[in-house]
């Protein structure tokens, strides 16, 4: 009887290990997310499924998922910790230098100059007129950022990595 129980455990052990690996990957490394809304139009249309990467460094122009008052927002990073950000005449300035903003869809409303803290980021949606972003909610803390999202898994005709345009 004891041998039969041990045999059963040996048979299901690989499945338990696989399940633990899947749970570990989803919890600590990557998980699927669904894009809702049109605040990132025309980069994202609000119907995509993407992979959220929970590891790695956050860089300017990365698309991130942010926990803002229990809502998940998908936005683009513009300001990094310690930087001075302002928006004037539909232009974004970082540390006093105007940046080329290839992602903006619509007018970008004015925003007074702020200096980000050591763990703060300034995020904007690509579809500026309707986006709830740092212009409204203020800078977001590093701990609010769940990860970066640059890989579309659905729809299949858009499957693959979203290119991050190098901008200085």
State the catalytic residues. Answer: 39, 75
Q: Is the peptide bond before 2 cis (omega within 30 degrees of 0)?
A: no
What is the rounded CA–CA span in Å between residue 168 and residue 159? 27
- Residues β-bridged to residue 63: 76
Closest CA to 103 of 131, 145, 139, 72: 131
What is the rounded CA–CA span in Å between residue 130 and residue 104? 12
Angle at 151 (CA atoms; ends 143, 36), nearest 5 degrees? 70
């Amino acid at each position: 009887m004891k041998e039969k129980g041990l045999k059963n455990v040996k048979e299901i052990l690989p499945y338990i290990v696989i399940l633990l690996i899947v749970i570990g990957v989803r919890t600590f490394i990557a998980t699927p997310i669904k894009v809702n809304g049109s605040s990132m139009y025309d980069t994202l249309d609000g119907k995509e499924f993407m992979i959220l990467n929970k590891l790695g460094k956050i860089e300017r122009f990365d698309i991130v998922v942010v926990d803002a008052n229990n809502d998940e927002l998908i936005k683009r990073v513009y300001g990094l910790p310690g930087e001075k950000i302002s928006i004037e005449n539909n232009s974004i300035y970082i540390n006093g230098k105007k940046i080329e903003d290839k992602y903006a869809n619509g007018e970008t409303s004015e925003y007074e100059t702020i200096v980000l803290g050591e763990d703060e980021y300034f995020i904007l949606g690509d579809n500026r007129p309707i986006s709830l972003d740092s212009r409204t909610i203020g800078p977001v803390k590093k701990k609010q950022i769940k990860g970066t999202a640059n890989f579309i898994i659905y729809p299949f005709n858009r499957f693959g990595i979203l290119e991050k345009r190098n901008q200085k």
